[in-house]
Amino acid sequence: MLFRISVLIFLFVGCLPKEKESKWAFYETEVGDVTVSLMVPEYALSTVDLLRLELTAEAPQGSEFHFPDKQSDYGDFSYFESHETSLKLNSKNNVVQNFSLVVEPGLPGTHKFPALTVLYGNKEVKTKPFSIDVSSVLSEDDKEVKDIVDLSSETSFSSLVLAFIPVFYLLFLFLKRDNFFDERKEFFENLLKRMEEAQFAELPKVFCEFLSENYCDKTVYTGSDAIENYLKLVHIEDALKKEIVSVFKAYEENRFSAAETITDKSINGRFVELANRLKVTK
C-alpha cells in the first residue's frame, strides 16, 4: 500500500506545471510612436511546463496601456496568470510599462501562438505570432512507471492514478491561489492596523509602504512634492491623487504642532480611509 502511495505522489509531483529558465527570442512591433517588444523563451516545452512571455510597451505620455486579459485569444494555450508593473518614465521622457503573461500548453505538437494585442489610446499594436513545439511527457512517464511497477498486473491501479492526477492538479491550483489571496489580505490588514495605531510621525512611512506594495514601485516619504511626482506614474484616479497629496500636505502643516493638539487623529483617519480605497488584491 505504501508503495502504491509513493508512486501516486511521484506522478502527481512530476505532472505539476513548472517554468523553465532559458535564452529569449526578441520581437519588436511599432505602430506610429508606440512600440511593443515581445520576449519569448527558447526551450523545449513539454505538456507539464508553463510558458512565460514578457512584453514591454513604450509610448509618448498621454494615455495608458491595455494588455491582454483572461478572455484574450491564446490559441491552443490556456491563461494561467499575468502581472503588469506601473508606468515609468525613461530617458526619452516616454512612458514604459512591463507585462508578464504565463500560459499553459495544451496537447503535444507544433502550435502557433497568436498575436497579442496591446492598446494605447486609439492605437492598436499586435505582436508577431510565433510557433512553438510542445512535447509529450507520457512516453517518458510510462517508461519510468514500468521500471517501478509491472503495468500488466497493475492496470486498475494505474488507471486510478491517471484518473486522480487532474483532480490533484486542480486542487493544487485552488490551494495555491487561495493561499496567495489570504496572504495578501493579511498583509494589508496588518498595514491598516499599523496605520490606525501609528504615532503621528510614522504615518507617512506606513502609508508609503502601502503604496509600494500595491503599485510595485517603491517609494519613501521625502515630502508632499515627491509623493505628487510618484503618483503621476501609477494608475490612480486623478481625484484620488489630489486627496492623497492633500493629506500629506495636511500632515506637513501639523507635524510640528504640540502632540496634545492632534488628539482627534483626524489625519490618521484620512490616511486609513484612503488606504482602504486604494486596496489592490491582484
Q: What is the mean pLDDT of residues 80-89?
A: 90
- Checking if the pLDDT of 256 tops 70, the result is no
Q: Does residue 163 belong to any structural domain of this protein?
A: no
Q: Does residue 106 belong to any structural domain of this protein?
A: yes
- Checking if the pLDDT of 263 tops 50, the result is no
Residue 140 and residue 190 in one domain? no
Q: Does residue 135 belong to any structural domain of this protein?
A: yes
Report for 153-157, 203-207, 256-260: range of highest mean pLDDT? 203-207
Q: Does residue 165 belong to any structural domain of this protein?
A: no
Q: What is the pLDDT of residues 157-201, one digit of tens each?
A: 666 667 667 776 666 665 655 555 566 667 667 777 777 777 777
Residue 217 and residue 263 in one domain? yes
Q: How far apart are CA 234 and CA 130, in angstroms?
A: 32
Residue 127 and residue 230 in one domain? no
- Which residues span the domain enclosing 37? 2-149
Q: Does residue 175 belong to any structural domain of this protein?
A: no
Q: What is the pLDDT at residue 107?
A: 86
Residue 125 and residue 228 in one domain? no
Residue 33 and residue 92 in one domain? yes
Q: What is the pLDDT of residues 119-139, one digit of tens each?
A: 999 999 999 999 889 988 765
Measured CA to CA in angstroms, residue 6 lies from 1, 101, 159 at distances of 9, 34, 16
Domain count, the chain: 2
The CATH number linked to 37 is: 2.60.40.10
Tell the residue number behind the cell numbers 500636505, with chain if given.
249
